[in-house]
């Protein structure tokens, strides 16, 4: 079992958190704490779930929760873009990272489901 901070999925998820911090910095004050805070909190939860899945014998439950939180991040980012709280360029960069995390998580889930738990 690798250290969770060295996993490729963790590194991409951390990059997503970094972008989330940047995009929420320029949000209107009325939405910075509510919408921006929720985006950051969901990104942190994704990182926590990567660590939990890495440490767990039964990974699929944690990975499923990770994918659910990732979907929430995507929805919140889209709403932020639609309301013009973040730029299209920022949205595109963030969505590219959510796509990468999602692909890696789905691959991890398939691998975990196929492997017998020892």
**In terms of Cα–Cα distance, which of 38, 36, 27, 19 is closest to 90?**
19
- pTM here is 0.90
- Record the tokens describing residue 57, joined without a space: 């014998």
Please tell me the distance from the alpha carbon of residue 36 to that of residue 116, in angstroms, as a whole number.
40
Helix (H) or strand (E) holding 63: helix 60-82
Is the dihedral angle over the CA atoms 111, 14, 98, 8 positive or is it negative?
Answer: negative
- Say whether 58 sits in a helix, a strand or coil: coil
Digitized pLDDT (tens) for each residue of the chain, 118 residues in all: 567 778 999 999 999 999 999 999 989 999 999 999 999 999 999 999 999 999 999 999 999 999 999 999 999 999 999 999 999 999 999 999 999 999 999 999 999 888 765 4
């Amino acid at each position: 079992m690798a250290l969770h901070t060295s996993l490729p999925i963790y590194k991409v998820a951390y990059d997503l958190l970094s972008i989330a911090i940047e995009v929420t910095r320029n949000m209107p004050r009325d939405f910075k704490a509510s919408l921006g805070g929720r985006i950051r909190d969901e990104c942190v939860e994704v990182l926590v779930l990567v660590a939990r899945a890495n440490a767990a014998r039964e990974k699929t439950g944690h990975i499923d929760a990770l994918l659910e939180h990732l979907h929430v991040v995507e929805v919140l980012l889209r709403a932020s873009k639609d309301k013009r709280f973040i730029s299209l360029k920022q949205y595109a960069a963030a969505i590219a990272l959510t796509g990468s995390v999602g692909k890696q998580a789905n691959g991890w889930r398939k691998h975990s489901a196929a492997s017998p738990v020892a």
